[in-house]
Copies of this chain bind each other. A is one copy, B any other.
Amino acid sequence: MMKHATLGNAAPKLPVLTEQNVESILVQHGYRLTRPRLAVISAALRHRHPFTAEQLVADLGTANGGAIGRATIYRTLEILAAVDVLTRLIQADGHPAYICDSPGHRHHIVCSGCGTAVAFTFCPIEELAPTLARDTAFEIHDHLLEVFGVCPSCQDSKRLPPQAHA
């Protein structure tokens, strides 16, 4: 108990999930491999930072060659999250976003400057839950935890003198 001198994996060592990986995961879960889904997958994997559903819609919408339906994009993202290829997180503005990181229970610290997110596996609620359950007599089922801040490189840029309205 109390062993979080360091966090699970604050360092960015992504296992770099490939499209093939994701495709086989979908098949394993009984989903069909369709052209629109493949498009969503590759678009999602292309993002290094959290992205919203509407961003993907922009990526794949009628604007670009794709023309994948909005509904399909939303549906596919839901599936990818259910299959743990994507994690859904809540941005500081309260809107949901998706991020592609290694599977499992995670929380994120998200930069309000550039959107960079760093995941961590240490979950403070695990530690807190028993006490909380005892004190409140609630059955604890779930939780929501996001941390917001400014990443190192955005800290640096903020130190620069303000530009002339550029």
Interface of A with B (CB < 8 Å)? 2, 4-7, 10, 90, 92, 94, 96, 109, 111-112, 118, 120, 122, 124-125, 127-129, 131-133, 135-152, 155
Contacts and interface: CB of A to CB of B under 8 A. Distances in A.
A129 B151 CA distance: 14
Given A4-B128, A124-B128, 13 more contacts: A7-B135, A92-B144, A94-B94, A111-B138, A120-B135, A122-B128, A129-B147, A138-B150, A139-B150, A140-B149, A141-B149, A144-B145, A145-B145
A137 B152 contact: yes
Q: How many copies does the complex hold?
A: 2
A149 B145 contact: no
B6 A135 contact: yes
Contacts of A132: 7, 10, 109, 120, 147
Nearest to A124: B124
A43 to B, nearest CB: 23
B139 A143 contact: no
Contacts of A94: 90, 94, 96
A14 B25 CA distance: 50
A6 to B, nearest CB: 6
Nearest to A5: B131
Contacts of A120: 132, 135-136
A111 B141 CA distance: 10
Contacts of A125: 124, 145, 147
Nearest to A120: B132
